[in-house]
Amino acid sequence: MADGVEVSAVRAASRARVRELGARLQGDAVREALDADSSWHLHGVGVDSGEEGLSVLRAGSVIAYEPGLRIGSDAFYLEDMILITPTGHEVLSSGLPYDADEIAAMMRR
């Protein structure tokens, strides 16, 4: 993600990475998640929050990126807040619990 990158390229790169990682896993649920027409929501944050009109990333924008996968009637997604910078991006939500173990540990507190 960087200034001038098309949103469609971000989604395509994300899907390719998920398929690459998923190829190491086995099972019907994994295949279903990789084959499903899953949601890859990316929108601006602020006054126009939730707006899908973004087609190209611009420096100074803060976006919410919510890649998601579906297995049957269940959907799994994660949202990151990302600042687009002139030279790339900065994940503003880093440091928050991310995987199942980290989330479970936080919930036990």
For 67-108, write each residue's pLDDT tens digit. Answer: 777 777 777 777 888 999 999 999 998 888 877 898 888 889
Strand pairing partners for 74?
71
Q: Are 43 and 49 in contact (CB under 8 A)?
A: yes
pTM greater than 0.75: no
| pLDDT, tens only, 6-15 | 988 988 888 8
Q: How confident is the model at residue 29 (pLDDT cuts 50, 70, 90)?
A: confident
pLDDT of residue 53: 66
Computed from CA positions of residues 65, 71, 75, 77, in that sequence, does the dihedral angle turn out positive or negative?
Answer: negative
Query: Between β-strands 80-85 and 62-71, what pairing exists: parallel, antiparallel or unpaired?
Result: antiparallel
Instruction: Give the chain as a 3 state SS string.
Output: CCCCCEHHHHHHHHHHHHHHHHCCCCCHHHHHHHHCCCCEEEEECCCCCCCCCCCECCCCCEEEEEEEEEECCEEEECCEEEEEECCEEEECCCCCCCCHHHHHHHHHC
